[in-house]
Amino acid sequence: MIEFASESKRARIKVVGIGGGGGNAVNSMVKCQQIGGVDFIVANTDVQSLGRSQADCRVQIGESLTRGLGAGADPEKGKMAATDDIEKVKAYLIDSDMIFITAGMGGGTGTGAAPVIAKAAKDSGALTVGIVTKPFLFEGKRRMKIADQGIEELKDAVDSLIVIPNQRLLGISGRDIALLDAFKMADDVLRQAVQGLSDIIMKSGYINVDFADVRTVMSNMGRAIMGTGMASGEGKTIMAIQSAISSPLLEEGSIEGARGVLVNITGGPDLSLHEINEASSIINENVTEDALLIIGHVVDNDMEDEVKVTVIATGFEKERQQSTSGFDIRPELLDMSMSGSDEGNVTPIDGDNRNIPAFIRLKNQKREVPSRSEVKSSLSFRKDDLDVPAFLRRKAD
């Protein structure tokens, strides 16, 4: 009998947008209406910015320090603001399995407050993932220096940190892009990163990846990279995987040296086992021999002759740390586990078992594969910024 988590036992995911950039990113996520099952929170020193927020939970920090006027591009003031009101923020972080910390680095509130709030999130026991942007070059060297310092502090406060360099986005935007549109594009990339991760957790597939798998790959791993790719036609899976691992989201430009890699492949009913095997081979060629590779597969009946790949790679240039789940991951446990969706054979999983990766939990169980029409994903990414060839995007470098 195949076990599934009941609806009430799904991972509880929250997104905390900090400062102006983080708040704008949250607004983008709320507007797209494609990120389900996630709670949105914003924290800011700027009352006007909070007033424009579309998040359900809005927290003013540093009221006595800034009088609601913002941190004035001073990270120390942002840090003090978060420290003074951290208990207010903690009230919104309780009962969370995973917390995203998103901000635009280089300013005052986002840069200074993000590490403080991230530490509180991680101390609560939640898997804490930072997803932040670095400034465009035209924003100046001082802002870039502040951003780099803030990123180093944030890296020590989260389990994994994904850094998105805004400058890379110019390579896919064209020379005539308006300034406002450039910043909106940066907000949307943050949205895509959060959506890519949350969809992996929330959406079931033939080869299922769940929260415990994500925790295994991302817990205490430091710097991480994430990329998405979409392709169609002959050789679509290879093209999508190559696009994903050379995405503008990958600051380092390569997944080489990663200790943990999670790959989620979404395609139509025509996607073959051979194509999935090809995708796995490409990833294995780019990582260390002992890297942990977890592959998920979701069928979307609306994706005719199309495939989309999301890649998350972690643990660069560091010894792989034991997962907080307390399980030793052995090579023989890395078989891909097939999950079914027949409700008649569903047994709710005990809440404590959510920390056991699905590919371990289902290892020795009878596997029943549903008809492809029964499995569907509602993942939706914007094609216009994913179909640009890698060699064109790299010109931004």
Please indicate, yes or no, whether residues 30 and 168 belong to a single structural domain of this protein: yes
319 lies in a domain? yes
Please indicate, yes or no, whether residues 305 and 381 belong to a single structural domain of this protein: yes
Give the CATH number for residue 355.
Answer: 3.30.1330.20
Please indicate, yes or no, whether residues 250 and 178 belong to a single structural domain of this protein: no
What H or E segment, with its residue span, contains residue 392? helix 390-393
Please indicate, yes or no, whether residues 163 and 24 belong to a single structural domain of this protein: yes
pLDDT, block means (10 residues), the chain with 397 residues: 50 94 93 85 96 95 93 95 97 95 96 98 96 92 96 95 86 79 82 82 75 88 87 89 76 77 87 85 85 86 86 71 38 37 43 53 47 37 44 46
117 CB contacts (<8 Å, ≥6 apart)?
A: 16, 18, 43, 82, 86, 89, 101
Please indicate, yes or no, whether residues 189 and 235 belong to a single structural domain of this protein: no
144 CB contacts (<8 Å, ≥6 apart)?
A: 106, 134, 135, 137
Looking at the 3D structure of the chain, how many domains does it have? 2
* Assigned token pair, 240: 């999508």
Tell me, what's the pLDDT at 206? 72
Please indicate, yes or no, whether residues 370 and 314 belong to a single structural domain of this protein: yes
Please indicate, yes or no, whether residues 260 and 340 belong to a single structural domain of this protein: yes
Tell me, what's the pLDDT at 391? 42
Query: Which candidate, 147, 120, 106, places its Cα nearest to that of 20?
Result: 106
Domain span at residue 295 reads: 221-396
What's the rounded Cα separation, in Å, for the pair 127 and 220? 9
Strands (DSSP E) contained in the chain are 3-4, 13-18, 38-44, 57-60, 98-104, 127-134, 160-165, 222-232, 260-267, 292-299, 306-314, 347-348
213 lies in a domain? no
What's the rounded Cα separation, in Å, for the pair 90 and 112? 17
Give the CATH number for residue 62.
Answer: 3.40.50.1440
pLDDT in tens, 311-325: 888 988 554 344 333
